[in-house]
A and B are shown apart, each in its own frame.
Chain A
Amino acid sequence: MNADTPAIAIDRVQFRYGRPGPRRRDIPLVLKDISLSVAAGDILCLLGPSGCGKTTLVNLIMGVDVPTSGTVRVLGETAPFRTARARIGFMPQDDALYEDVTAEENLRFFAALYGVKGEHLARRMDELFAFVRLQRHRKKLVHDYSGGMKRRLSLAVALVHEPAVLVLDEPTVGLDPEHRRYIWNHLEALAAQGCAIVVTTHVMDEAERCARIAMIREGRLIADASPADILARTGTNTLEDAFLALEESESPDTAAEPNVSPSLGEKEACHD
């Protein structure tokens, strides 16, 4: 990968679920014509209401799904990212930890899958437990962790192999403000070292920290700019107002019925 290739390049991507076949055309598109790119050192915030397609887009970046049309390139490769995968860090929305073993075991297991081992692993584990402030709890079963502790451990797992691309799906849900700020500071430090970071969130004030926001609504990219630019363009004071303004200008029929517009800042339970 040379310097001017973006770490993540998404080009006119469409996506629908379901198996290939004649009836698949009837399934609505989850993502419509999305183009985005994230360079090394960038932090991109994917912002949008629940169900807008954020996680689907994340799955495409992770190579878990393959776009119906268009291309997704990560570190210059298309899915299934045979060599790039080892350089992508991923923190899924669920904690995705093995609750019945210790925090250390979790970290060691995922480290092994990424090929991190030996002395390097020991050093890395010390660093990460210090970073997520779980040194005192590293030998505890994850089952006994609080929600916030699990989130932090999950982040440590995502960072264990020092990835060049970091994808974080709702990383700060359930964290208290202090930890949230702490983690954001660290993410900015990582970006400064050249890591390309994608963060999804539906919390507007969190998005304000990002240098760049990609707003997604019903599978469509409705804005891709810095928070300041978005506020200036829409003439609003908050990102929430900006989002609603953009939404109305996008789609006149939802504007006519403001009640049906998706609520922001409220996380819908989606795993039950």
Chain B
Amino acid sequence: MTSVFAIVRRILTQFALDKRTLALLFVAPLVVLWLLSVILGADTVGPKIATVDLPAEFQTQFGQTDARITEANADEASALLAANDVAAVLSMEGEHMLKVELEGTDSTKSAAVLAACAEALGELRGKAAEEMEAAVVDKRAEVEDTIEEASQQREEARTALTGVMVSMPAEARSGLAEALGGLFDDDAAEALSAEDFSMNVSDYLPIEDMETVYLHGNEDWRMFDFYGPVFIGIFLFVFTFITSGMSLVTERMGGTMTRFLATPVNAGQILGGYTLAFGLLACVQSAIILWVALTFIGFPNEGNLGLVVFTCVSMAMVSVALGLLVSGLAATPFQVIQLILLFVVPQILLCGLFDLSGAPDWLAALSAFMPVTYGVDALRAVMLRGADLAAVGFDLAVLWGFLALFFALAAASFRKKRVRTTC
């Protein structure tokens, strides 16, 4: 038992002395939990939808759903849709057909749009039915009044006629009764009502039906298809990050760093060598991952495969540079793991895995400083929307900017941190 306590005591002492680990043990889970609560706890917001010249009743009704509506003309609306600024565009197709153009990549959003449309249409139908029913009741009352009036008049006429006929000779009386036979029947009233009851439902319902058009993908796209590119990006980034983050620490631990620094190579060359080597590995890695993912797992790819690979490799290179920077900051593999958690977890949370449109603005601002955000954005654009190089040029440029920044920082901090053997 004493030995057990001795071990416990030693371990606790080590932890107590390792401030960074201690901080990470308590702070990291709290930060992650808090971030998650902000992201997931945000009010769910409805999909953004652009409407083009919808019937006023529907527009009003639609405004009561949780959808965030922008009224626009047709051109503006298609531009918004193409830029993924709205999840759908609603317009009229013909007289009574609602056309729903869905952006389509995010099946969750598509479903939300369709649900909002169905809700509004349902309400509208309900109202129309009520209106029509009321109209029918009015009409029936009107018709009944008319019939009532007619029969009364008829009755009066008949009474008057009967009075007159009494004084007539029997032959003349029967002849007149035959001639006036129609007056004594109710057929006329019935003919009148049948015609007036045929009502047109479309007079009350501005929209009878809707048709759905997908800009990208189709209704078979599942949630997975939208998240597929995100996972590819995250996995590539994380795994590359771990291997490159470990690399310099391993050199330092193995003592080869001392020897490395004694040779004529400079920091830039060492880091350049590492970045290139890992970049090549990333090329092979992403090619294989993509091949398997597209061929066997059934990831969608609407765009140029070469561009997808290039985006993946760009992400991996950024990851390598960030890993080297982290590796320069850490003295032991354990510290690398800690730093990886610190650098990777927020990026996973904020890169686009969760919809941040309902989260506070500062979260969205924070995600703008994370390379994974741009990588995932570009991968989604290419794989789901078939974007070309020009369309993802900004994302790629930002990625390469991050690469240059991390590389420069890593090179600057490289020589400052060394092995310290004091014997």
Query: Which residues in B have their C-beta under 8 angstroms from that of A56?
Result: 422
Q: In the complex, what residue of chain A is closest to B273 when comparing beta carbons?
A: A113
Contact in complex: B256, A98 (CB < 8 Å): yes
* Residue interface bits B251-285, CB-to-A below 8 A is 1, else 0: 00011111111111100000000000000000000
Query: Which residues in B have their C-beta under 8 angstroms from that of A30?
Result: 422
Query: Which residues in A have their C-beta under 8 angstroms from that of B19?
Result: none
Contact in complex: A99, B254 (CB < 8 Å): yes
Determine whether B9 belongs to the interface, using a CB cutoff of 8 Å to chain A: no
In the bound complex, CA of A157 to CA of B418 (Å): 21
Query: Which residues in B have their C-beta under 8 angstroms from that of A92?
Result: 255, 258-259, 262, 421
Q: In the complex, what residue of chain A is closest to B416 when comparing beta carbons?
A: A19
Determine whether B166 belongs to the interface, using a CB cutoff of 8 Å to chain A: no
Query: Which residues in B have their C-beta under 8 angstroms from that of A50?
Result: 423
Query: Which residues in A have their C-beta under 8 angstroms from that of B260?
Result: 113
Given contacts A30-B422, A271-B421, contact A64 B262 (CB under 8 A): yes
Contact in complex: A94, B254 (CB < 8 Å): yes
In the bound complex, CA of A53 to CA of B254 (Å): 21
Contact in complex: A90, B259 (CB < 8 Å): yes
Determine whether A62 belongs to the interface, using a CB cutoff of 8 Å to chain B: yes
Query: Which residues in A have their C-beta under 8 angstroms from that of B257?
Result: 96
Given contacts A95-B255, A96-B259, contact A113 B264 (CB under 8 A): yes
Determine whether A238 belongs to the interface, using a CB cutoff of 8 Å to chain B: no
In the bound complex, CA of A65 to CA of B262 (Å): 11
How many A-B residue pairs lie within 8 Å, measured between CB atoms? 69
In the bound complex, CA of A50 to CA of B418 (Å): 19
In the bound complex, CA of A62 to CA of B258 (Å): 9
Determine whether A194 belongs to the interface, using a CB cutoff of 8 Å to chain B: no
Determine whether A85 belongs to the interface, using a CB cutoff of 8 Å to chain B: yes
Given contacts A96-B255, A98-B254, A157-B259, contact A64 B423 (CB under 8 A): no
Given contacts A64-B418, A98-B254, contact A90 B262 (CB under 8 A): yes
Contact in complex: A94, B421 (CB < 8 Å): yes
Contact in complex: A110, B259 (CB < 8 Å): yes
Which residues of chain A in 83-107 are interfacial with respect to chain B, using CB atoms and an 8 Å cutoff?
85-86, 88, 90, 92-99
In the bound complex, CA of A170 to CA of B423 (Å): 10
State the Cβ distance, B411 to closest chain A Cβ, in Å.
14
* Residue interface bits A31-75, CB-to-B below 8 A is 1, else 0: 000000000000000000011011110010011110000000000
Determine whether A114 belongs to the interface, using a CB cutoff of 8 Å to chain B: yes
In the bound complex, CA of A88 to CA of B262 (Å): 8
Contact in complex: B263, A110 (CB < 8 Å): yes
Determine whether A3 belongs to the interface, using a CB cutoff of 8 Å to chain B: no
Contact in complex: B423, A270 (CB < 8 Å): yes
**Which residue of the partner chain, among B259, B261, B264, contacts A86 with CB atoms under 8 Å?**
B264
Query: Which residues in A have their C-beta under 8 angstroms from that of B262?
Result: 62-64, 85, 88, 90, 92
State the Cβ distance, A9 to closest chain B Cβ, in Å.
19
State the Cβ distance, A89 to closest chain B Cβ, in Å.
9
In the bound complex, CA of A113 to CA of B257 (Å): 13
Contact in complex: B255, A51 (CB < 8 Å): no
Extra contacts besides A85-B263, A92-B421, A94-B255 (16): CB < 8 Å? A30-B422, A53-B422, A55-B422, A63-B262, A64-B261, A64-B262, A93-B255, A93-B423, A94-B254, A94-B258, A96-B258, A96-B259, A157-B259, A268-B423, A270-B423, A271-B421
15 A-B pairs with C-beta separation under 8 A: A53-B422, A85-B264, A90-B258, A90-B262, A92-B255, A92-B259, A92-B421, A93-B255, A93-B421, A95-B255, A96-B254, A96-B256, A96-B257, A113-B264, A115-B264
